[in-house]
């Protein structure tokens, strides 16, 4: 039931975003046919590392927080779903959507910024 609701919600979200003409990223929970390659971004010492990640559309991107501070992953311009606050060792994943360059930052420590480039 939970999964179903989540899928419906995600479908609604994706439709909503598509209709606005924005690029689409999806929460990994909604997409089981993700590409096999893993792209991991480590959060350590108030930095996203690597600072710039290039992925293929459909690949999974995962952030892991190694700091003792909570951090978030928030898209500049709300182009993909933001994470909730990640405590130490917590992860957040999305599936890369439409090709393009996506800037993001930590809304708790906005000096922390980085980029994802999605290719076809």
**Residue closest to 118 by CA, chosen among 32, 26, 48:** 26
Taking the least distance from each CB to other proteins, the nearer of 62 and 109 is 109
Rounded to whole angstroms, the Cα distance separating 68 from 19 reads 39
- Residue 38, classed as helix, strand or coil, is strand
Q: What residues does 56 pair with on adjacent strands?
A: 119
Restricted to residues 65-84, the positions that interact with other proteins (CB under 8 A) are: 67-70, 72, 74, 76, 84
Our CB check for other proteins shows the closer of 34 and 116 to be: 116
The sign one gets for the Cα dihedral 56, 60, 92, 44 is negative
Please identify, using beta-carbon distances, which residue of 57 and 107 lies nearer to other proteins: 107
Q: Is 49 in the site for other proteins (CB under 8 A)?
A: no
The answer to the question of residue 113 lying near other proteins (CB under 8 A) is yes
Which residues of this protein are in contact with other proteins, per CB under 8 A? 45-47, 67-70, 72, 74, 76, 84-85, 87-88, 103-105, 107-111, 113
């Amino acid at each position: 039931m939970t999964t179903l609701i989540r899928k419906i919600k995600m479908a609604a979200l994706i439709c909503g975003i598509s209709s606005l003409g924005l690029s689409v990223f999806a929460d990994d929970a909604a997409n089981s046919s993700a590409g096999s390659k893993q792209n991991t971004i480590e959060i350590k010492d108030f930095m996203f590392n690597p600072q710039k990640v290039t992925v293929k559309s459909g690949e999974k991107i995962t952030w892991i927080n190694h700091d003792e501070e909570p951090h978030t992953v928030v898209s500049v311009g709300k182009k993909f779903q933001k994470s909730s606050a990640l405590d130490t060792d917590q992860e957040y994943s999305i599936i890369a959507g439409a090709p393009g360059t996506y800037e993001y930052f930590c809304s708790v420590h906005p000096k922390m910024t980085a980029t994802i480039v999605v290719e076809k």
